[in-house]
């Protein structure tokens, strides 16, 4: 009887050990399959600032990206080689499906994208994507030959932080769009109509808020009403009429002066054309001297002075 009990206990122990081994193996396989990168740190919106100190290689990936999955062996080998050579460089990875704000902050337009970060200076790695090339890029400081990301485009700048918030907002709107179609069964045009109405309402609300803020800081001027008596109104009207009549008379005099001058010019030009021109200037002088030494000079035409404006 005791032998039977011992055998049953041994069988139970064997079953328990096999179950434990199965769980350990399953956990290990699950970790390998669900982690497409072999990075020291998984970055997100909360802990990404730690790469601003030290030297890092950062990969942006997505679980559905075939190129990211193809890069996994080289990335894992790079981690092992860096650890074996005791380099100060560390590896990090960003899942763009979980942290869309970081993809906007780093302006990631293709996957996978690799960045080299050295003491807060960002450079995009564009070399071969094998472990030896990436290790040589870091170990022999070939990153010095690459142009750093400009300061206005740096991920830790204020403007890129604003871009990151816009990316997070777009991701949130996309999730709402998916929820409206899958959960509530709305058609695509129905979801777009809801977003259009919400956009108009939010725009009108923001415009009203902006007007209130402007009126608060720059209030409009208040004009006081001035009462004028009827006598003052008549006096102003008379002054206006007198001024208008003076201007009209001055204008008419100027026009008349111009007409008179034009007529005199035409008369003088006709007289010059009809005058004889057979004798020369010297003969005219002699004739004048012979007649008594007097030379008649034409009188200068005087222009009537105009009235000042």
User: Active-site positions?
Assistant: 65, 68
Distance CA 259, CA 290 (A): 41
Torsion of Cα atoms, 147 then 151 then 152 then 157, to 10°: 130
Distance CA 289, CA 291 (A): 5
Q: Which helix (H) or strand (E) holds 114?
A: strand 113-118
CA Rg, the chain, in Å?
A: 49
Chain position carrying tokens 């080998």: 77
Strand order in the sheet with 121-125: 41-43, 90-95, 55-61, 113-118, 121-125
Q: Are 131 and 77 in contact (CB under 8 A)?
A: yes
DSSP 222-252: -PPP----HHHHHHHHHHHHHHHHHHHHHHH
Distance CA 114, CA 129 (A): 9
For residue 147, the 8-state DSSP code is P
For residue 153, the 8-state DSSP code is G
* DSSP H stretches of helix in the chain: 2-34, 66-84, 100-105, 131-139, 158-182, 188-217, 230-274, 281-290
Distance CA 138, CA 116 (A): 8
Q: Are 47 and 98 in contact (CB under 8 A)?
A: no
Sign of CA dihedral 249, 255, 257, 259: negative
């Amino acid at each position: 009887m005791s032998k039977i009990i011992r055998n049953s206990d041994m069988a139970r122990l064997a079953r328990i050990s096999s179950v434990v081994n199965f769980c350990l193996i399953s956990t290990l396989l699950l970790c390998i399959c669900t982690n497409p990168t072999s990075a020291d740190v998984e970055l997100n919106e909360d802990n990404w600032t730690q790469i601003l100190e030290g030297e890092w290689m950062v990969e942006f990936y997505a679980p559905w990206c075939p190129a990211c999955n193809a890069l996994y062996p080289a990335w894992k080998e790079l981690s092992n080689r860096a650890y074996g050579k005791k380099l100060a460089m560390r590896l990090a990875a960003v899942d763009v499906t979980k942290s869309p704000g970081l993809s906007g902050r780093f302006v990631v337009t293709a996957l996978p994208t690799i960045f080299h970060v050295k003491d807060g200076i960002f450079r995009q790695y564009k070399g071969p994507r094998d472990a030896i090339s990436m290790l040589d890029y870091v170990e022999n400081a070939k990153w010095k030959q690459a142009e750093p990301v400009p300061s206005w485009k740096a991920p830790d700048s204020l403007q890129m932080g604003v871009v990151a918030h816009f990316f997070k907002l777009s991701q949130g709107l996309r999730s709402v769009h998916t929820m409206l179609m899958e959960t509530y069964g709305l058609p695509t045009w129905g979801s777009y109509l809801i977003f259009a109405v919400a956009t108009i309402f939010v725009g009108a609300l923001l415009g009203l808020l902006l007007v209130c803020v402007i009126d608060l800081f720059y209030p409009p001027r208040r004009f006081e009403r001035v009462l004028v008596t009827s006598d003052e109104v008549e006096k102003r009207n008379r002054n206006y009429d007198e001024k208008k009549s003076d201007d009209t008379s001055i204008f008419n005099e100027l026009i008349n002066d111009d007409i008179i001058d034009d007529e005199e010019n035409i008369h003088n030009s006709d007289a010059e054309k009809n005058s004889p021109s057979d004798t020369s200037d010297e003969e005219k002088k002699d004739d004048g001297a012979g007649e008594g030494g007097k030379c008649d000079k034409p009188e200068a035409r005087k222009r009537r002075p105009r009235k000042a404006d």
